[in-house]
Amino acid sequence: MDYIHIENMQFYSYHGALEEENRLGQRFNVDVSLAVSLQEAGETDDLAKTINYAEVYEATKEVVEGEPVKLIEAVAERIATSILTKFSPLTEGVRVKVIKPDPPIPGHYNHVAVEIVRGDYR
């Protein structure tokens, strides 16, 4: 299996379970990896045989900056569904990691995140 990785995409949105998150918003970082055969694209140098990275970014942005939800789990699920739908049949599976660098919880930590895998991602 081959993979396309797009890491540390940065967005600002209003997801969260707390009222202040919905009102003030916050940063979100997203990593996406797509399981896709890249051999034909590599051999032919043909963009039509692979997935356009800019289109993956836009699909991710549409979800993250779209309708607010309470949980980053829901954000991750919507990103995975969007990517698997928009880039089928080239994409066999997807791994999505949604990171909240500054959640409004007390304590010392780098960030909180969820990571999901959907489809045939080995």
Lowest-confidence pick of 20-24, 38-42, 67-71, 83-87 = 20-24
Query: Would the pLDDT of 104 be above 90?
Result: no
Mean pLDDT of 49-60: 97
User: Would you state the structure tokens that stand for residue 22, as one six-digit string?
Assistant: 């919905």
CATH number, domain at 61? 3.30.1130.10
60-88 pLDDT, tens per residue?
Answer: 999 999 999 999 999 999 999 999 999 99
Mean pLDDT of the chain: 96
Burial, 58: exposed, middle or buried (Cβ in 10 Å; 0-12, 13-18, 19+)? exposed
- Active-site choice (49, 61, 86, 100): 100
Q: Give me the domain span that covers residue 64.
A: 3-119
Using CA atoms, how far apart are residues 49 and 63, in angstroms rounded to an integer?
Answer: 25
pLDDT at 122: 81
Query: Would the pLDDT of 1 be above 90?
Result: no
Query: Would the pLDDT of 93 be above 90?
Result: yes
φ, ψ dihedrals at 116, nearest 5°: -125, 155
100 a catalytic residue: yes
> What is the pTM assigned to this prediction?
0.95
pLDDT at 96: 98
User: Would you state the structure tokens that stand for residue 114, as one six-digit string?
Assistant: 């969820």
Q: Cβ distance 32 to 102 under 8 Å?
A: no
Name the pLDDT band for 121 (thresholds 50, 70, 90): confident
Strand order of the sheet with strand 112-119? 3-13, 26-35, 93-100, 112-119
Mean pLDDT of 1-12: 97
Mean pLDDT of 116-121: 95
The total number of structural domains that make up the chain: 1
